[in-house]
Amino acid sequence: MIRLYGKVEQSVMDEKMLQDAVEEQGPKEEAGQISKEEGIAFNVVLQLRLEYKNILKIEHLWEFTSLTKLQLNNNLIQKIEGLASLSNITWLDLSFNNIEKIEGLETLTKLEDLTLYNNRISCIENMDTLNNLTFFAIGNNCLGQLDNVIYLRRFKNLHTLNLAGNPLAEEANYKLFIAAYLSDLAYLDYRLLKKETKEQAFAKYQYAIEEIQHNELQTLKATEAEQSRQDELQQHKEAFVEYLNGSQLFDSMFAHDQEAQKLGQLPGLVGLCIQMFESGIAEQKLREAEINAFFEVLQEAAREKQQRSAQLVADFEKYRKKRILDLQQVEDVAQQEAQVNQYMMDIKTLCDSCMLLELQLVDQLEEIIKDFERNITDMVGSFIETVQGIYPFQFQFFIGASHDSHILRIDNREDKLVTRINAWMMNLIKRIQDEEVWRNRKCISEIRNFKQHLRNQLEEVLHHE
């Protein structure tokens, strides 16, 4: 069904349209009244329905960041665009439009339900990132190539598919082809795919499918291998000894020097590298254990303090309400004043004791942070020493008469290691200290705020009278 542009009045997605839609679809009855009075922010809206509006172009949706369901069906949209910021969306309905190409969906990784029914799409494409897709309707389109459906194999969760009304659905082996290639599919064109059909389909396309499965398995294995290699490299980088567990250093050194390559293959040199590499890995493990032990104690101390302070506050809260009630009922001015004073004193005591706990914690943490800093510095220092012990002199011994550029390369590698490990250490310590300062500030401001809040409340009560 293709609508002619001239006959209907096209409209533009402007703020008013959005606002109206949001208000109309927002809370109902009394809640609707209230929300209308104070206005609804676009970034908290979860669902939006914009159907039968003759929209030509998707615009101005960037503010709806929490949106999970968007319905734009029965419009005149020609191109999928302007949806990039709706990263939380799980349901998208673009049926009955004039879309010709699937595009602009790359960022919608949470998408589960996609409807493109009754458009003019001729190819399934550009959907690689939609890993969570479970429902896909693309009926009444211009899909002609049955092979194009194989593209959908990558969606492991795909449960329901609608393809009816496409040219490809006219083909004789349409159902069997799809049942064979999308073996996890449960419903095709809103009908259950029976077990017998699937078996029949599998028998028919067995060889082709097995080949595809084989290829997919190969690719999967390759990606996994690549992934594990990357992980390992990352681990080595964390230990600052990447590319030292073999002869890469020398290979790179002699890449342009055919003659000296023989020298590089001397077993001693590679052995030294490996020695360094192993000590690096061992040191890294030690460092990790140290950091874990430190953080465990740090967190525990903080948690304990938090609990104790929270207990103090909870104890105070228990009687606060009753005391305020009492205050309101006291008639004698002098007595009231005495009670108010007492209350103020209590607030002060509470805040003081919270502050005291906080200060104690700061002292305690400062101490263990210092300890930790010292330990980690020692560890890093000893590691650098070990590396330096093995590194320059021995290598120079081996390639004493070698080219200067080679020595430079070796030195560079060493410098890189030392700089990086020092930077890492500085970063770590700075981060810990920053976090501690941030925590401390947050806590003190919290206590202050609470104190202020309590006083305000008291004043309010007194003022009220």
Q: How far is CA 434 from CA 127, 369, 422, in A?
A: 42, 12, 18
Distance between CA 44 and CA 63 in Å, rounded? 9
Closest CA to 182 of 165, 163, 198, 203: 198
Cβ contact 24:52 at 8 Å: no
For another protein, which is the closer residue by CB, 181 or 294? 294
For another protein, which is the closer residue by CB, 20 or 460? 460
**Closest distance of CB 83 from another protein, Å:** 26
**Closest distance of CB 37 from another protein, Å:** 8
Q: 8: number of CA atoms within 13 Å, CB side?
A: 15
**Closest distance of CB 291 from another protein, Å:** 11
- What is the pairing mode between strands 113-115 and 91-93? parallel
For another protein, which is the closer residue by CB, 80 or 443? 443
- Write out the residues near another protein by the rule CB under 8 A: 27, 30-31, 34-35, 37-38, 40, 290, 293-294, 296-298, 301-302, 306, 309-310, 312-313, 317, 354, 360, 363-365, 367-368, 371-372, 439, 442-443, 446-447, 449-450, 453
Tokens of 363: 């002292």
For another protein, which is the closer residue by CB, 292 or 394? 292
For another protein, which is the closer residue by CB, 431 or 442? 442
- What is the pairing mode between strands 91-93 and 135-137? unpaired
**Closest distance of CB 113 from another protein, Å:** 22
**Closest distance of CB 387 from another protein, Å:** 25
**Closest distance of CB 41 from another protein, Å:** 8
Helix (H) or strand (E) segment spanning residue 192: strand 191-192
**Buried/exposed code over 162-179 (b: 16+ C-beta within 10 A; e: otherwise):** bbbbbebbeeeebbbbbb
For another protein, which is the closer residue by CB, 35 or 122? 35
